[in-house]
Amino acid sequence: MKAVHFGAGNIGRGFIGMLLYRAGYHTVFVDVNEKVINEINQKQKYTVTLADEAQQQEVIENISGINSIKDPDAVIEAIVEADVITTAVGAGILPLIADVIAKGLLKRFENNQTPVNVIACENMIGGSDLLKQHVLERIPEIQRPAVEALVGFPNAAVDRIVPNQSHEELLTVSVEPYYEWVVDEQGIKGEKPDVKGITYVSDLAPFIERKLFTVNTGHAVAAYLGYYLGLDTVKEAMDSPPVLDIVKGALSETGRVIVKQFGFDQAEHEAYIEKIIGRFLNPHISDELTRVARGPLRKLGKNDRFIRPATLYLDLFGEAPPYLAKAIAAAVSYDFVEDQEAKELQWSVKENGYQKALALVTELDVEHPVIKAALAQLEVLKELK
């Protein structure tokens, strides 16, 4: 069996590649990073280490790599033969890989009518839907119905913290022990990929929203508040009482929304939050705040980890959530110079002022209560410094 996986980065090697290997696939990693691809082809294996007391290691084999810049034809051929296609490239990169996927699918269906599934494993709601849209735009109209009939784009939620890596061996990756990969079975075409570790569900919304608005919201709150206070790592941020207080406050606000929206049991959700806070405090992981905070324009987007739960909170409970507002205020202040989106955000703040810059990035009205609450919190945050 062959899997084609786009993105041989942290989550690609440390999570998706690991489960595909265990399930018996040969994984073809497709990436633009020449060093990583060369190393994959040279070593044909890499090590995953679990970041806990025992530091257990697992060697992942049965892999090869393709540099999609240098050899797009090889990617097309790999798609022709693929039994499953997965991605972990970053939400913003999905449009960039759509072209080669479209070409691969068209070539595949010249001789092979076997259905195939493309699963985007990105931190966003509707990642596979988005990829599907970009792929279909690149398929001639007349062939779209056939492609839609044979290609599944099931949405997915993936959860495992994989920090930036620095090991002697380039491909080695250290990951937290916990993982969860939930896939929407309604979106599957043909047979479900038989991968131990994938949980198939008939309604993904509760899973992706619970995960995005707890793990990713909580992490992002710690990252932006921690950075605001001059800290470097998630652990340092979580050890800071004001940051911990705001993380807990924000998660209790997103929790109210999730419990109300999806009917999760309150006590169970509180236990879920506690477990996630424990994961952020893992002493065996050193996770830079700038990794977790990366891409503030995306993270301040209307369907992402702050604005969607904040606007839902307003709709459900009639007021803007004060802790999420603090996090939004810290996020709009994020000015890490090595982050292109942070630079663009700060340029917008300078040009437009905080209120308009926030309205532009969140697509909310300048007078929206969530924007106003965040502006008020900008002043309050200054007292923390």
Ligand X SMILES: O=P(O)(O)OC[C@H]1O[C@](O)(CO)[C@@H](O)[C@@H]1O
Ligand Y SMILES: NC(=O)C1=CN([C@@H]2O[C@H](COP(=O)(O)OP(=O)(O)OC[C@H]3O[C@@H](n4cnc5c(N)ncnc54)[C@H](O)[C@@H]3O)[C@@H](O)[C@H]2O)C=CC1
Kindly list the residues in this chain that would bind ligand X in the complex (CB under 6 A).
Answer: 123, 159, 161, 215-216, 219-220, 292, 294-295
Task: Extract the tokens encoding 308.
Answer: 């969607």
Q: How far is the CB of 299 from ligand X (least distance, A)?
A: 7
Question: Which string of DSSP letters, residue by residue, matches 264-281?
Answer: --HHHHHHHHHHHHHHHT
Q: Cβ(204)–Cβ(158) under 8 Å? A: no
Residues 6+ apart with CB under 8 A from 59: 45, 46, 47
CB atoms within 10 A of CB 79: 24
**What is the CA 304 to chain-centroid distance, rounded?**
10
**Which of 11/136 has CB closer to ligand Y?**
11
Please choose which of ligand X, ligand Y, none residue 184 contacts, taking the beta carbon within 5 to 8 angstroms, the exact cut-off set by kind: none
Residue 89 lies near ligand Y (rule: CB under 6 A): yes
> Residues 250, 125, 229, 242: what is their CA dihedral angle, to the nearest 10 degrees?
20
In the list 51, 85, 91, 222, the residue contacting ligand Y (rule: CB under 6 A) is: 91
In the list 5, 6, 17, 355, the residue contacting ligand Y (rule: CB under 6 A) is: 6
Residue 122 lies near ligand Y (rule: CB under 6 A): yes
**Selected range binding ligand Y among 29-37, 38-46, 317-325, 363-371, rule: CB under 6 A:** 29-37
Please choose which of ligand X, ligand Y, none residue 328 contacts, taking the beta carbon within 5 to 8 angstroms, the exact cut-off set by kind: none
357 annotated ligand-binding residue: no
Please choose which of ligand X, ligand Y, none residue 78 contacts, taking the beta carbon within 5 to 8 angstroms, the exact cut-off set by kind: none
Residue 93 lies near ligand Y (rule: CB under 6 A): yes
**Which of 17/193 has CB closer to ligand Y?**
17
In the list 23, 50, 74, 96, the residue contacting ligand Y (rule: CB under 6 A) is: 96
> What does the per-residue mask of binding to ligand Y show for 134-173, with x meaning CB under 6 A?
------------------------x-xxx-----------
Q: Give the separation between CA 148 and CA 133, rounded to whole angstroms.
A: 11
Q: Is 263 exposed, middle or buried (0-12, 13-18, 19+ CB in 10 A)?
A: exposed
89 annotated ligand-binding residue: no
Task: Extract the tokens encoding 221.
Answer: 């709150």
**Which of 355/362 has CB closer to ligand X?**
362
Residues 6+ apart with CB under 8 A from 188: 117, 152, 154, 200
Q: Is the dihedral of CA 364, 370, 375, 378 positive or negative?
A: negative
Residue 33 lies near ligand Y (rule: CB under 6 A): yes
Residue 182 lies near ligand Y (rule: CB under 6 A): no
125 annotated ligand-binding residue: no
**Which of 108/219 has CB closer to ligand X?**
219
**Which of 60/314 has CB closer to ligand Y?**
60
**Which of 291/356 has CB closer to ligand Y?**
291
Please choose which of ligand X, ligand Y, none residue 219 contacts, taking the beta carbon within 5 to 8 angstroms, the exact cut-off set by kind: ligand X
118 strand-pairing partners: 85
Residue 208 lies near ligand Y (rule: CB under 6 A): no
Q: How far is the CB of 128 from ligand Y (least distance, A)?
A: 12
Place of tokens 């707890």: 214
Helical segments of the chain, H only = 10-11, 17-22, 34-43, 72-81, 94-111, 127-137, 144-150, 205-211, 217-228, 234-238, 241-262, 266-280, 289-292, 296-299, 307-317, 322-332, 340-362, 369-382
63 strand-pairing partners: 27
Q: Give the separation between CA 375 and CA 43, rounded to whole angstroms.
A: 52
Q: How far is the CB of 369 from ligand Y (least distance, A)?
A: 29
Residues binding ligand Y: number (CB under 6 A): 27
Task: Extract the tokens encoding 111.
Answer: 């001789």
Residue 50 lies near ligand Y (rule: CB under 6 A): no
**Which of 2/368 has CB closer to ligand Y?**
2
In the list 3, 76, 84, 88, the residue contacting ligand Y (rule: CB under 6 A) is: 88
Residue 65 lies near ligand Y (rule: CB under 6 A): no
Q: Is the dihedral of CA 153, 304, 48, 164 positive or negative?
A: positive
Please choose which of ligand Y, ligand X, none residue 68 contacts, taking the beta carbon within 5 to 8 angstroms, the exact cut-off set by kind: ligand Y
Under the rule (CB under 6 A), what is the footprint of ligand Y?
A: 6-12, 30-33, 36, 68, 88-91, 93, 96-97, 121-123, 158, 160-162
